[in-house]
Structure 1
Amino acid sequence: MKKNVQRILLSLMVSSILLTACNNRTNEENTSSEENLTTHQSSKQGVTADESNNGDSQDSTLDNEGSDAMEDIRIKLTFNNQEVIVNMDDNPTSKDFLSLLPLTLTFEDYAGTEKISYPSDKLSTEEAPSGIDPAVGDFTYYAPWGNLAIYYKDFGYSNGLIKLGEIESGIEKLENLNGDFTVEIEKMD
């Protein structure tokens, strides 16, 4: 009987050790997966895993700096010795457009409401809404056709339309243009 009790105790100890070892391995795998996820999410935001683990206050500072920086980005459209200033929105499509600058494009009138042009590259539609109802002065991208559109008259909701920014000054200069015109687009300092 004593040998049976010893065998049972030995079996319990071995089982306990094995379960503890398995549990540690599972915890290590979970921790590794969480670290990989954190690293992946942080790298998408331009932050290293070490920076993302330094506390909430640093994370909120980085988020605020990123959004402030994007809010301050403006572009200049130059044509016929005129300038139009656009304040860019903070979205992936706007950022993709900014990466193409400087650009020289030919714009044309479309439907008496907007000036359009076709950049050579399609822009990202990541995180884009299904569409918007543009307002006068909106600088947009129409994903189905791959064109930029600057609205100088009111227009209704459009599927596939993504707002890139809003004209800060000079919309009246576009409204009165007839025919095709060449525009130089560049980021402002």
Structure 2
Amino acid sequence: STKTLNVYHTAYHRDYRITNSGDEPVYYVCNLHFHLNTPDVTLHAGSEKTDPTLGAAEFSSMFSKSIMIALGDPGANSDVPWHEIVRTSNPLLQSEFKFTVDTPRYHDSAHGQAKGHSGTTFIWKRSSETEVGDGAAHSLQNFKLVDEGTGETVATFANNGLGGWKKKGRFRIVEGVYGGDWENLVLLSCLSLIEKAGGGA
């Protein structure tokens, strides 16, 4: 199944609130990039930045080639796992953003085989407004997330462009495949790429 999440700017147009398909707030994203000794992006469970931290992202500068993603609250637990998202470049293609995580195996009943193995690599790729759908505007902030092993698109982000001052865009995320932290990882990784590039506005 696929889950839909809507991303809205907060009143100060810096942070985000993320709502479910019924427009009920489920996440808050706090953006403090380039502030000393704080994560650049934090994901919170709820409608406010004072709600529990689910994950954080750090990048040393907008020119660095990688982003570090923590699944959990690094301020409360120094043992939370971190994952590195690395930008890869090809002279003929736009930059892609790759990361590898441990994922549980699951059974594909249609094909009678196990899929989704430990050490699965995913790639965020910039995408066209046609591919991501949802009435997306033409933008460098339209993304699709591809499972490198299967070639399947497992998440998309459609940027709202100039379609509205308040709404940033919409995620569609494949559910029930890659484990409990999967949704948090998708949200943090994509929104961190956008923030790192200075595209939060």
- TM category (shorter chain) comes to under 0.3
Q: TM-score, normalised by structure 2?
A: 0.26
Q: Counting strand residues as a fraction of each chain, which structure ranks higher?
A: 2
TM-score when normalising by structure 1 = 0.27
Higher relative contact order (Cα pairs below 8 Å, separated by 6+ residues): 1
Q: Which has the higher helix share?
A: 1
- When Rg is computed on C-alpha atoms for both structures, the one with the higher figure is 1
